A and B are shown apart, each in its own frame.
Chain A
Amino acid sequence: MDWTLPLFAAVPLFTAAIAVLLPWRWARDVLHIGIPVAGIAAGVWLFAHTAVNGPIAHNVGLYVGGVAIPFAADTFAAIMIITTMIVAATANWFATISGETVSRYYASLTLILITGVNGALLTADLFNFFVFIEVMLLPSYGLIAMSGTWARLAGGRAFVLVNLAASTLLLIGVGVLYGVTGSVNIAALQGVAAGNGPAVVAMGLVIIAVGAKAGVFPVHTWLPRTYPESSAAVMGLFSGLHTKVAVYMLYRIYVNIFDLEDRWNWLIIAIMVVSMLIGAFAGLAENSIRRVLGYQMINGMPFILVMLAFTSDDPQRALAAGLLYTLHHMITVGALILTSGAIEETYATGLLSKLSGLARRDPLVAALFAAGAFSIVGFPPFSGMWGKILLVFEIARAVDWWAWLVIAVIVIASIGALLSMLRVWREVFWGKPMQRYPKELRVSGRLIAPSAVLMVGSLAMFIFAGPLIDATLTATEGLLDVDGYAHAVLGEDPIGVPDMTDLQGGR
């Protein structure tokens, strides 16, 4: 069944081409919501299949391993596909309701974005990953500038330039890696960056580039000034896709190519600690809802990535905690952004100074925002609680003062996140009712429905935490099965597996 893997990328691409030609808006809407929904189903099938059969891989074009571009899937990739498709479907649904799809190009741009996401999650070749990152980025260049606030052009320019620089850096990194090792196949490169040597430097370039896409300090600065300038539907879409694909690849690279090296623990912890503090507190100085949420996105990344530094004891559980937090973060931040979008599309502003008293006008919106805030801070009964609890548990497993430091910073960062969300709650939902708008102007139920669906999902993640945690454990078991991965991808007698005997030390 592995021949179905390239179809994950091919089918959305084909439908994107159809969508750009269709003159009927309803048809385009059906396509750009229907394809992600189909992607959810396909992802569930893939998860079930790989949970039973282990990692599967397909060499596109059926050439020998190492030469062909491999598409490989394990349970980790499958679970990421499922969740990214959930966010994409909901964000596209919101886009349809909020009127974005009046532009005839919106549907095809999002479908190409989904193509890129699926390709990036399934590919096992670093240059192909670069290409699919570009496939993701190009429609994003359009999406981010075609609707939003007064600053969408400035935001679009900054977005394009930073992401172009990051992907050029990725290209250079992949090129240098090829120059050092002679291969760009992830399975063939297994373990080349463990220890020390020139491959580590090459991978350093790759990590900086992918980290810029993930929004990690110090290359995070573009995120809170580009995403919020676009429209909420687009920001919701991006929040669940771009940064999470980067996180996926960082996990994959660290497990495969770095072989869970301990050497960098101090660096990862230092960077993530600073990132946590910035993400938690910088939102207190922002002046619109989605800018605060932009910093909440930056706040979430280090929680996920710091687990890479705590894999010495029980990597399966540590990475599973990180994965669970990733899934929670995608759903919750998506819901919060779409809630903010519902407010913005109704009242034409997202500024904290211009909104007030919404709790009385729109109690459902207020409830959803409160639920999202609870979830992202870590209160029950939403997914954030399990996410945070498992993270702290797995970090506490390594009982040294690094763990104490990280736990203390997690506590402080959670307090900061709570303060940020409390501030938004106070400014937007409490207070005197706004006089500028007629009393009949309310957020319509259709507009808030996608966000409600996502919060129900977060609630379900809390209630069904048991099966969800089992699923993440299965996923990271698949991720850590590097030998199965290599065997599936490379097959018999692969070409180009590098010989690192003279190029690597400390192993």
Chain B
Amino acid sequence: MILALTIAILVTGSVYLIQQRGMVRIVFGMSLLGHAGNLTLLASGVGAWRGEPFPDRTPLDVAADPLPQAFVLTAIVIAMATTTILLTLAALGRDDDTDVPEPADDNIAADPVATLGRAAGNGGK
């Protein structure tokens, strides 16, 4: 139950943060969601058994389920990669404000970020 409460707090925080303004804050929210997911995975291994899964030093009747731990390791590392990418996206551009107004009608070629028209006039070099 305590674990469920922890997960619930993480999910609440995460959902609140991802509705805020500013990429960095949303990234923190996703980070919390990742934590919640990891704890859920560990909880699925039934937290009544908490011995470290080393058969040579932990008796079998208290050893924890090793499979969710492997899952969580994979998930943590993938989340690290994704968080780094998200932070890069937050650092690029004008700023990290996510409440972007959509321009009414825009001349696409007049933006330094637009890459269209690369192949124009040269037969697609």
Contact = CB atoms under 8 A, between A and B. Distances in A.
A354 B43 CA distance: 56
Contacts of A345: 116-120, 124
Nearest to B83: A164
Given A154-B100, A179-B44, A446 B109 contact: no
A138 B85 contact: yes
Given A153-B89, A348-B109, A350-B116, A178 B74 contact: no
A16 B105 CA distance: 39
Nearest to A97: B124
Contact of A178 (B67, B78, B85): B67
Interface in A96-127: 97-100, 102, 127
A164 B116 contact: no
* Interchain residue pairs A-B with the least CB separation, the first 7: A348-B117, A179-B44, A150-B111, A175-B41, A345-B119, A99-B118, A147-B115
B55 interface: no
A148 interface: yes
Interface in B11-30: 18, 23, 26, 30
A402 interface: no
Contact of B108 (A138, A178, A350): A350
Given A127-B71, A138-B82, A148-B114, A179 B43 contact: yes
B57 interface: no
Contact of A348 (B45, B108, B123): B108
Tell me what chain B mostly uses at the interface: helix, strand, loop, or mixed. Answer: helix
B1 interface: no
Contacts of B100: 154
Contacts of B108: 149-150, 348-351, 354
A346 B71 CA distance: 47
Contact of A346 (B34, B45, B119): B119
A165 interface: yes
Interface of A: 97-100, 102, 127, 131, 134, 138, 141-142, 145, 147-150, 152-154, 156-157, 160-161, 164-165, 168, 171-172, 174-176, 178-179, 231, 287, 344-351, 353-354, 441, 444, 446-447
A345 B114 CA distance: 11
B30 A164 contact: yes
Contacts of B123: 444, 446-447
A172 B117 contact: no
B68 A447 contact: no
Nearest to B44: A179
Interface of B: 18, 23, 26, 30, 33-34, 36-37, 40-41, 43-46, 67-68, 71, 74-75, 78, 81-82, 85-86, 89-90, 92-93, 98, 100, 105-109, 111, 113-121, 123-125
B18 A161 contact: yes
Contacts of A176: 40, 44
B86 A178 contact: no
B119 A172 contact: no
A21 B23 CA distance: 32
B61 to A, nearest CB: 18
B18 to A, nearest CB: 7
A98 B124 contact: yes
A157 B23 contact: yes
Given A138-B81, A175-B40, A350-B108, A231 B116 contact: yes
A489 to B, nearest CB: 18
A266 B111 CA distance: 47
A267 B92 CA distance: 42
Contacts of A102: 118
Given A153-B92, A154-B100, A175-B41, A344 B85 contact: no
Nearest to A345: B119
A165 B85 contact: no
Nearest to A177: B44
Contact of A150 (B82, B90, B113): B113
5 contacts: A149-B108, A149-B114, A153-B93, A161-B86, A444-B119
Contact of B78 (A134, A175, A353): A134
A142 B85 CA distance: 9
Contact of B116 (A97, A149, A157, A446): A149
A168 B86 contact: no
Contact of A131 (B34, B67, B74): B74
Contact of A168 (B34, B44, B93, B118): B34
A181 to B, nearest CB: 10
Given A165-B33, A351-B105, A444-B119, 4 more contacts: A99-B118, A344-B116, A346-B119, A348-B109
Contacts of B105: 287, 351, 353
A444 B120 CA distance: 9
Which of A134, A164, A345 counts the most B-chain CB atoms under 10 A from its CB? A164
B119 A97 contact: yes
Contacts of A148: 114-116
